[in-house]
């Protein structure tokens, strides 16, 4: 018997809101967090807009000591600590005085501490290695985020970091789920974060996969499922969820946001059209099918989908893959939305931020709208009826929502969330 796993806490540091109230309201009301970035213009980027969390509205002393703040120059780590500690507090959990052997974390990232690396390189090249400071290593190692959170919270179970490009956050959820389901921990803090800034986004600008015609109208630039989509808007931030065995949650009378039924992770193997930058459609379909099977449901049970849907020309392909995997089309297709119109593509943080938004829909009794998809791509409408594209926030009580992420490297992850019923 595998343990049932539920979500008992969440935290988020996103371009369209920091903290659950602000984030949830912006998703519900259609508030965009995408803005023009002056630095990108100065550096001659073609795409001069991005989704950037406004951490100026919070007090960092609530999350870091004065010693920890000294020399702190890793925005991804900052985002992750904010989201992770908020999720822990939201779950009603205390910070342990001794190691909590029943609690751990899987907190992923794509790249961490780029600005700190840059600072360190200049100092080393100038012969000032002794001026690097004692926190350079923790700010620049990939597992710095999980190590930092493990220390802040006193976690004594597994403390690790995963990295699978845009799939990272959703994969972290499933890694934590498996750990609890198999009885290896009672609680796991799961999530992911992503650095922000030109040194992270520059490579994508060079690939010419970012929109270039919306620098004067940033909030219109990210257009999931739209016929006029012209590339993804880069974003950053962090999302975090506290996963817990149902027995543990009930024992301490914790609030429960949703239950995780199961999921799947796989790769298309760079075959059948799959590559570093493109998904093998067979791999995507198999990942979704495996997630459905692992969850003990069938494709007809899915009420809604929160897709990866990055606002590129690949969005119609994703819709087709969902249709094939679920065996549903037209009016029978589930409701589907994407949150990337609100804050862009937050790279390694995208899956975790979007999982938080997905789960919030159960509590809100809504399916949040998809910004800027008023002109749905005609190829999508060949597969799914117009009424199934959630362009405006819809009053609806979902029972089962599928959330997927598909990342660079032809890697896939799909998790199945269910409304918790006592």
Predicted pLDDT of residue 394: 98
Q: Which residues pair with 160 in a beta bridge?
A: 106
Arithmetic mean of pLDDT over the chain? 97
Predicted pLDDT of residue 271: 97
Q: What are phi and psi of 35, to 5 degrees?
A: -145, 165
State how far the Cα of 176 lies from the Cα of 108, in Å rounded to an integer: 11
Predicted pLDDT of residue 17: 98
Predicted pLDDT of residue 1: 81
Output the pTM of the full model: 0.98
Q: What domains lie within the chain, and their CATH numbers?
A: 5-251 (3.40.47.10), 263-418 (3.40.47.10)
State how far the Cα of 401 lies from the Cα of 347, in Å rounded to an integer: 22
With a pLDDT cut of 90, the percent of the chain lying above it is 97
Tell me the two tokens of residue 301: 């049970």
How many other C-beta atoms are found inside a 10 Å radius of the C-beta of residue 199? 14
Which residues does 301 contact at the CB level (< 8 Å), separation at least 6?
A: 399, 400
Question: What's the pLDDT tens digit per position in 290-340?
Answer: 999 999 999 999 999 999 999 999 999 999 999 999 999 999 999 999 999
Residue 421 has pLDDT above 90, yes or no: no
Residue 250 has pLDDT above 80, yes or no: yes
pLDDT band at 422 (very low <50, low <70, confident <90, very high): confident
CA-based torsion, 288, 289, 292, 298: positive or negative: positive
Question: What's the pLDDT tens digit per position in 342-365?
Answer: 999 999 999 999 999 999 999 999
C-beta separation of 236 from 79 below 8 A: yes
* 30 alpha-carbon distance from chain centroid: 18
Question: What's the pLDDT tens digit per position in 130-166?
Answer: 888 888 999 999 999 999 999 999 999 999 999 999 9
pLDDT band at 43 (very low <50, low <70, confident <90, very high): very high
Predicted pLDDT of residue 113: 93
State how far the Cα of 171 lies from the Cα of 153, in Å rounded to an integer: 22
Tell me how far apart the terminal alpha carbons of the chain are, to the nearest angstrom: 19
Q: By mean pLDDT, which of 61-70, 97-106, 221-230 is the weakest?
A: 61-70
Predicted pLDDT of residue 171: 98
* 274 alpha-carbon distance from chain centroid: 22
């Amino acid at each position: 018997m595998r343990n049932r796993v539920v979500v008992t806490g969440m935290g988020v540091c996103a371009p369209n809101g920091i903290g659950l109230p602000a984030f949830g309201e912006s998703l519900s009301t259609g508030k965009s967090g995408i803005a023009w970035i002056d630095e990108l213009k100065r550096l001659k980027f073609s795409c001069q807009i991005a989704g950037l969390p406004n951490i100026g509205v919070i007090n960092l002393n609530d999350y870091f000591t004065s010693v920890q703040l000294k020399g702190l120059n890793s925005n991804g780590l900052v985002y992750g600590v904010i989201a992770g500690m908020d999720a822990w507090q939201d779950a009603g959990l205390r910070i342990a005085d001794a190691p909590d052997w029943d609690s751990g974390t899987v907190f992923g990232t794509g790249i961490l501490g780029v600005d700190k690396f840059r600072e360190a390189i200049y100092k080393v090249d100038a012969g000032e290695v002794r001026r690097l400071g004692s926190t350079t290593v923790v700010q620049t190692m990939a597992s710095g985020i999980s190590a930092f959170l493990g220390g802040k919270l006193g976690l004594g179970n597994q403390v690790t970091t995963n990295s699978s490009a845009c799939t990272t956050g959703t994969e972290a959820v499933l890694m934590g789920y498996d750990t609890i389901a198999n009885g290896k921990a009672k609680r796991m803090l799961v999530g992911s974060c992503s650095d922000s800034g030109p040194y992270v986004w520059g490579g994508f600008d060079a690939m010419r996969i970012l929109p270039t015609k919306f620098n004067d109208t940033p909030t219109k630039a990210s257009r999931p499922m739209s016929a006029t989509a012209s590339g993804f808007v880069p974003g950053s931030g962090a999302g975090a969820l506290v996963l817990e065995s149902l027995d543990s949650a009930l024992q301490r009378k914790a609030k429960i946001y949703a239950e995780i039924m199961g999921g799947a992770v796989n790769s298309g193997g760079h075959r059948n059209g799959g590559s570093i930058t493109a998904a093998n459609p067979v791999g995507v379909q198999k990942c979704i099918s495996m997630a459905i099977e692992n969850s003990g449901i069938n494709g007809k049970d899915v009420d809604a989908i929160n897709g990866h849907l990055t606002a590129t020309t690949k969005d119609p392909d994703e819709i087709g893959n969902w249709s094939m995997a679920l065996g549903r089309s037209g009016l029978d297709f589930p409701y589907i939305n994407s949150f990337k119109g609100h804050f862009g593509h937050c790279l390694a943080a995208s899956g975790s931020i979007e999982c938080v938004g997905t789960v919030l829909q159960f509590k809100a009794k809504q399916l949040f709208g998809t910004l800027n998809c008023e002109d749905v791509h005609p190829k999508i409408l060949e597969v799914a009826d117009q009424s199934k594209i959630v362009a405006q926030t819809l009053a609806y009580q979902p029972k089962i929502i599928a959330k997927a992420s598909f990342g660079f490297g032809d890697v896939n992850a799909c998790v199945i969330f269910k409304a918790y019923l006592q």
